[in-house]
Amino acid sequence: MSSSSGLTFKLHPLVIVNMSDHYTRVKAQQRGVPSRVVGCLLGVQSGRVVEIFNSFEVIYEARGGDGAGSSSNPREAMDGGSGEAEIVIDRSFLTTKMEQYKKVFPKYDVLGWYSTGTDVCAADMHVHKALMDINESPIYLLLNPAINPAGKDLPISIFESELHVIDGVPSLIFVSSTYTIETVEAERISVDHVAHIKPSDGSSAATHLAAHLTGMHSAIKMLTTRVRLLHSHLAAMESGAVPYDHSVTRQVSSLIRRLPAVDSDRFHRHFLTEFNDTLLMTYLASITKSTNTINELVDLFDVVYDKQSRRAARTAFV
């Protein structure tokens, strides 16, 4: 079920890195046993836009469903089923972390929490309700650690809580929401730096170039596919084949308004400058490669000529 709140969620890469690092460390400490982790999300909400900037870990206790104390396996406690357990967050630790982050980032508020797993379960709602005294409408970010080679999207889902009447009883349920990845300049520089770190397997520059070009080709191909899908969806809405979606049309209109911003004389001058610089670098690289080839040929010629000269000198001496 999709959310009807109309909120726009923007997720920063730092949150994804923090969650992945948290899960990886816990898994390594438990010697490869899959474990579920829990943490809080920090960010800013401005009107209908919710931007998630950072996150931190929290300590919790998984109490067994039979009330016999805490479970030694957090995964068993949080996966649901007959042995489903209640998750109790360490409130003192949470309060301390919130105060520490508030001193460093005074504008950030606790927007919700995150966890790992393949899908939501009943135990997640207990944690969700426990955080409502901090944020009356928290969000839930779920990271799926299972590897899916065929998957093209990030294994991340964002859920909101809505009150629905089910069988005559008001119940709080999770509803999925869409999100976009938002980056600032520092994050882009960091991600680019990490992406260009040379591995220690002795791969050549040609291998890195091929991988880079393959990634660019995949990105352009995916962008083309999504533009075609968006175009076909708008055409279907215009013909009446699908219901009219005002949210989608507003987002498309906002995107289209940005296009004329790059159609200016200043942009064309900068573009031509960058294009000419790229062509010049390509031309210089070709000249350098040709010069190196000629230099190797001259070295071989000198070696052959020197051998012939020595042979001729020995023959004359005899």
| pLDDT tier, 15 (very low <50, low <70, confident <90, very high otherwise) | very high
pLDDT of 113-134, one tens digit each?
Answer: 999 888 888 888 888 988 998 9
pLDDT at 81: 39
Share of the chain above pLDDT 70, in %: 82
Handedness of CA 205, 211, 217, 223 (dihedral sign): negative
Cβ–Cβ under 8 Å, residues 9 and 44: no
pLDDT of 83 above 50:
no
Cβ–Cβ under 8 Å, residues 226 and 152: no
| pLDDT tier, 60 (very low <50, low <70, confident <90, very high otherwise) | confident
pLDDT at 202: 56
Report the 10 Å Cβ neighbour count for 85.
23
Alpha helices in the chain (DSSP H): 13-29, 74-78, 91-104, 122-130, 185-195, 205-239, 246-258, 265-317
* Nearest alpha carbon to residue 116 among 156, 77, 84, 161: 156
| pLDDT tier, 73 (very low <50, low <70, confident <90, very high otherwise) | very low
Look at 5-9, 218-222, 300-304 and tell me which has the smallest mean pLDDT: 300-304
Report helix, strand or coil for 288. Answer: helix
DSSP secondary structure code for residue 262 in this structure: G
pLDDT at 187: 79
pLDDT of 171-224, one tens digit each?
Answer: 888 988 999 988 887 777 777 776 666 555 555 556 667 777 888 888 899 989
Q: Which residues pair with 135 in a beta bridge?
A: none
pLDDT at 251: 87
pTM strictly above 0.85 = no
pLDDT of 68 above 50:
no
